[in-house]
Structure 1
Amino acid sequence: MTVKCAIVRCMANTVCVDGKCIPNGPKENPCSTIRCAPNTVCKLNQVQCVRAPCPPIPECVPINETRPSRSTPILDDKCANIFCTADSTCVDGKCVPLDIPQNDPCATMFCGPNTRCENVQVNCIQAPCPSSGRCVPLNDTVDPNQPILSNM
């Protein structure tokens, strides 16, 4: 166990590696237990993850559906059987780090007079869990590391 894992508590069937919880044991294809309707195939959708592990979600899609960012059909998808860690995604058959820009929840939030919006990390129950904004008096400062509970 590394120093980074000394204070990390992982869920069942996961193990701490470099401070992150990862699945313990061989990775099973989540689509192997999904039965799709005729003319559909199982596709794995990677979820935006706040706390690992966040396995991809299997979904049945039409055989001829293409992904918006690609022109190849799902049947020819090089990522169909690739499983990446929660902080990465598959591109052209290889796992690459996620480079997801942080959305500013305060950009679309209006606060009353003498208040301002502050970003607050959400205590995640089910991914994806983007940060949230809340209005605070101008003279108060909210600790951004103190989470608020969300059922998202």
Structure 2
Amino acid sequence: MFPVLRPILNKGGAGNYISREESVDRLVPVVADQLGLLRDYDYVAKRLDAPAVRQRFEEVVLPNVRTELNKLYETIFSLGGSAPTGADMDWSASGLDGNDTDSLKTLLERDRAFGDRLRDEVEAVHHQERTRAILGHNADKSNDRLNMLRALLADLG
């Protein structure tokens, strides 16, 4: 659908949305990816040498990633599905054992790819508006994290 027409055609629920089951099937892999991102952020946060950077991760970044993940969980549950919990996930992270700068650069690339995935999902199919809004919100939060990571990298400079 043409983005300019979306607000007009979707007003009042007009237009063809994908089914609830299809939405769940498309969102479950997104949740799995966000769980992996949370694992990566958590892994880096525990190993950062710079106390100010570690504090920023623990007080701001990790709670935000968890909140975004919970929004996706709620969406999947409201659609009648069940989401992966990460219980069977390998919680060891790879490629993040370098110094603070290298770890933050790796996180930057991984979060950029995740944000791109969210934006692609919003445009790929006609999700219900609530689902689209949550995916868009999480993509915006990914951009916020990218800006924060760039600022931290500049500080470590």
Identify whether the pair has TM-score above 0.5, normalized to the shorter chain: no
Higher relative contact order (CA 8 A, sep 6+): 2
Compare CA radii of gyration and give the structure with the larger one.
1
Structure with higher helix content: 2
Bin of the TM-score, shorter chain as denominator length: under 0.3
